[in-house]
Amino acid sequence: MDRFVWVTGGIQFNEAIFYTKNAVRIYDGDDKTSYDDGTVKVTTHRIIWTDAKYQIALPMELVVYSEKHSGGFGKSPKVSVHLQAPPVNKVPGPVSRSQNSFIKFSFKDGGESEFHNQLQAAIQKQGWVQQSISSSSSSLKSAPMGTRTRAAGIVGIERKIEEKQKKTDQNISVAFQDLTKLMEKAKEMVALSSNIATKIKDKKGDITDDETVKFKSYLLSLGIPNPVTKETHGSGTHYHMQLAHEVCKSLDKAVGECGGMMLLSDAYCRINRARGMELLSPEDLLNACKMLDNLNLSLKLRTFATGVAVLQLQSHSDDLIIEQTTQLVEESTSLSAQELANLVNISVLLAKERLLLTESVGGVCRDDSDEGLRFFPNLFLTKVV
Amino acid sequence: MRRRGVGASAVTKKKLETARYKERGNEIAAQQLEQLSNQLETFHTNLEDFAAKHKQEIKKNPQFRHQFQQMCAAIGVDPLASGKGFWSEMLGVGDFYYELGVQAVEICIATRPQNGGIMTLKEIHQKLIKTRGRYGQDISTEDVQTAIKKLKVLGTGFALIGSKSNQLVQSVPGELNMDHTAIFDLAQQNGGHMSVSEVVKKLSWKSERCEHVIDHLTHEGMAWVDDQTPTNERWYWFPALFTAEQQFAS
């Protein structure tokens, strides 16, 4: 299967098609591949297989011999094609290495006899050898004269494709040149910024607050992390403050519906899905949420010991949750994180956090076994005399 | 004249000097700030020109994106740090990667019950291509890696682990160390499953170490226990490694 190469475009100049058949599947050795319903063509130069998505081809010169296998009950007839080793400088294809040196074509709709005959004929004729010699000589002769008259037809199309490729390559190299120039300028600014940052750090009160705020927004625009001003003015900028308000407005209701707590990654998805354009970076969201506490809004950011970060309603009370969880565990004799998640309609991660929280105050006990982690009511507290 | 810098007056002089330098330093910082501001404005215009000419390139060409990321990293700039950054606003790189991040999160959530929160980079790459459909832009595995690296700050345990040739994407919190990835590697070479005796043989570990590691993986739901094996020894299967298997087995 690794002798196939990706191809685009259609038939080449000097190539002729001998036979075409649809509903053909390719096997790599004896294993099915995902190329399972396409059209196979036998030409002078190659065996080509196409479907709606892919186009792959196998050079005819690699074929050693082929065999027919008739079908049986439930099995389509097949033709196995035995191949030589792939050439060293082979262009990339669908499979880079295969341990099999043969492939099979399975003909769900018949046609294998004709395919086999045509393949044998093509191998014998060795059409690719003659053609390559004649095409190189003819291209030498016709290059000066025939270039303009051949603008139409297959060669014309191929040439257009080549030109387009060259143009894309040129565009990219121009883009790289422009990009390199831009980067040099950016580098200067990065150096300047770090200079300023050090100065700010050394005399923390001397630059006006306004200027510091401006400076932070410059860093934001460039994408430079600014650890310096974190201690003095918090990690956020004006932008993040606005974002914090926006986050609260859009997610307040949703967090309530989720039981008062929503995973930060969940919040990220929801906000960006709602925005559609001008999306927020994860850091934007994090920085905005870090400011929530200071701004006294209805949501706040909470990070658990495990590293899990959630947005939580200010009105949320841990005690209530602990009570609720303890009760649920009692009612069900025991609960796993997955079961609690289904019961309360929250994510498994959050359910686990609730159970751990309740455990930390002694509301429930854990049972850690081969079958997983389960929580039971804490009878040590309630039933011990 | 500063011949003999000793004595009380020398100390006051020094204090005055330091104060003056400080003022000077202050000015210089303010000047620098203005200089930075001006440079930024010019840069903004240049970036606009660049975007007008080459924005399409960035959208269509994963290799160009990769080069771009590397150049930014080399000068200490993170183009994806904020949606409000120049790079994101004008070149649109932000939206591209943030959306990829959202799609990655959704895929991880959907597959978590099956694979316990870990999957191969290849698999998530393929699923992303599928989600985006035939009109989505080309995405390379590096694009996926960049998007996932950004998700780390959200605190839900998004991380890239494993060796370069065999990258895994983790989407649940919890420590997955070299031992865990070693077992994943072994299982992958072994058709998606392994047993304690195989690990002992191939990695030369003590069986307690192996059991400890495999226990953790089973607990997290990343490994499934199989007690009906032909060799009568307990096998462990890794759903995260299943896809490759299933394709050729059907």
Q: What is the pLDDT of residue B5?
A: 56
Helices (H), chain A: 112-125, 127-146, 153-202, 209-222, 230-233, 238-257, 264-275, 282-290, 292-295, 318-331, 337-344, 348-360, 379-382
Q: Which of these, A129, A119, A7, lies nearest to A63 by C-alpha position?
A: A119
What is the Cα–Cα distance from A120 to A113, expressed in whole angstroms?
11
Q: Pick from A182, A188, A286: which is nearest to B50 by CB?
A: A182
> Is there a contact between B40 and A186 if contact means CB atoms under 8 Å apart?
no
3-class secondary-structure state, position A131: helix
CA angle A292, A297, A300 (to 5 degrees): 45
| Residue A281 touches chain B, beta carbons under 8 Å | yes
For each of the domains in chain B, give its residue range(s) and CATH number, in order of start. 97-249 (1.10.10.10)
Classify the C-alpha dihedral A97-A98-A104-A107 as positive or negative. negative
**Long-range pairs, A146-154, Cβ under 8 A, ≥24:** A154/A10, A154/A11, A154/A12, A154/A13
> Is there a contact between B43 and A373 if contact means CB atoms under 8 Å apart?
no
What is the Cα–Cα distance from A270 to B109, expressed in whole angstroms?
13
Each of the 385 residues of chain A gets a pLDDT tens digit; together they read: 888 888 876 677 678 888 888 888 998 888 888 888 888 888 888 888 888 888 888 888 888 888 888 877 778 888 888 888 888 777 777 887 788 888 899 888 888 888 888 888 888 887 777 544 444 444 444 444 444 554 567 888 888 888 877 877 777 778 888 888 888 888 888 888 888 777 777 765 456 777 777 788 888 888 777 654 444 445 457 788 888 888 888 888 888 887 788 888 888 999 888 888 888 889 888 888 888 888 888 888 888 887 888 888 887 878 888 888 888 888 888 888 888 888 887 878 888 888 888 888 888 888 887 777 889 888 887 777 6
A179 contacts in chain B (CB < 8 Å): 50, 54, 67-68, 71
HSE, side-chain direction, 13 A CA sphere, residue A27: 20
Q: What is the pLDDT of residue B239?
A: 85
Counting Cβ atoms within 10 Å, is residue A373 exposed (0-12), middle (13-18) or buried (19+)?
middle
Smallest CA–CA distance from A205 into chain B, residue: B26
Neighbours of A144 (CB within 10 A): 7
Counting Cβ atoms within 10 Å, is residue B55 exposed (0-12), middle (13-18) or buried (19+)?
middle
> Is there a contact between A179 and B54 if contact means CB atoms under 8 Å apart?
yes
B138 contacts in chain A (CB < 8 Å): none
Q: Which amino acid is at B33?
A: L
A125 to chain B nearest CA, in Å? Answer: 36
